[in-house]
Amino acid sequence: MHQQKLRTRTCRATSIAGAPEVAEVDRSANKMNQIDPASIVGEVPNLQGKRIDRLVLQEFWYSGKLEEEANVSYLNIEGDWHRLYFDYGVIFWKESKEEDMAIEPFEDDSGELNQFKLRDFGKEDGIEGKVIEAMTLESDTQTANVKMTFADGSSLVFESIEDNTTLRAEPAASGQRR
């Protein structure tokens, strides 16, 4: 598989079939220089200089056990809701609304009660109010990542490996705070 080294604010992608089909995409503020259009479904918004008002995660629980920390992520960016989710190397980015977060428990074929739970990650981890300085997207046939870097040097990383998405807040590197 063809791999390119990543640079800051650059996006790398390999097509679903694994071929190195890379097209130029200009979304200036996101600084995505090269990306395979097949690896993104929806329109990636220009978030540079915008504030995160809320970040709510939809967790997936199976038989009382947390199976996926960030099945779907709902981001409120200066009053506009966005839904971000992943599926085997594909990044889905859609416009949304707060009502889309409504969830109900359900039973699977075996009668097990499964459910989605909402977690206010933005409030818990101090993300609310931060301003996005840059965003990097990466994708290959099994993984996808979205990294948002904030004006204070900290970052937020959505990482999906084989359809299991996690999220982590990373502090600014020492000497990087502004």
Whether 1 is covered by a domain: the verdict is no
Average pLDDT value for the chain = 78
Kindly report, residue by residue over 96-115, the tens digit of the pLDDT: 988 887 776 666 677 666 78
Whether 136 is covered by a domain: the verdict is yes
Whether 101 is covered by a domain: the verdict is yes
Q: Give the total number of structural domains in the chain.
A: 1
Full residue range of the structural domain in which residue 108 is found: 46-170
Whether 20 is covered by a domain: the verdict is no
- Cα distances from 94 to residues 7, 82, 113, 116, 171, in angstroms, run 26, 6, 28, 19, 27
Give me the percent of the chain exceeding a pLDDT of 90. Answer: 50
Give the pLDDT band of residue 4 (cuts 50, 70, 90): very low
C-beta neighbour count of 65 within 10 angstroms: 7
